[in-house]
Amino acid sequence: MIPPRMPIAIVRLDDLSAAVEIAQSLVAGGLTALEYTLTNNAALHAVEQARAALGEAAQIGVGTVLSGAQARDAIAAGAQFLVTPVLRRDVIAEGATQGVPVVCGAYTPTEIWEAWQAGAPFVKLFPARSLGPSFVRDVLAPLPMLKLIPTGGVDLDNCADYLQAGAYSVGIGGNLVAAKLVAARDWAELTRRARAFVAACTRQSLPQ
């Protein structure tokens, strides 16, 4: 299950040859939910590798799932949750059939409600950068049962604001798993960034 109030690390890269090292570095920094997106054809192999390396240390999901067929392939590869960027009822249905939670993308209040009504246990508010934490608070006022996960534009300065507004979690991509950082294989810095996001989202102080 996706942990509440903790960031989901989104790995959206052109090169996933270091998928295991990326996953290990993020987990070392305290993040326990990782998403590899299908924008890279090697994503499913990355999921298989990460699951084998990490065991139960993290929940590994697949993002940018756009069809029921992709959902089935992702689950077969070991995905423990599925993420869509848009409202996809076929993905929600496939996840429900196989007992795998779906974080379904939505933008407007109507789309958010339709995703929830279709059976998505979580709704990805995307792109959140154009909406902000106040939108989360406003939507949850009449619909407090929703589990919203804002994604897109979430950074160290606003992640806690989204959570304080009532978001279940947040998704963090390029502001955490940067392509240049991975290309440099600077795993210590990736772990430091992960730790910084955990601290910022929970408003904790990092040890000096």
**What residues are annotated to the active site?**
35, 124
Q: Tokens representing 137?
A: 């608070």
Cα–Cα distance, 132 to 150 (Å, whole number): 9
DSSP at 14: S
Of 1, 4, 32, 9, nearest in space to 100 by CA:
1
Cα–Cα distance, 72 to 176 (Å, whole number): 28
Cα–Cα distance, 175 to 38 (Å, whole number): 19
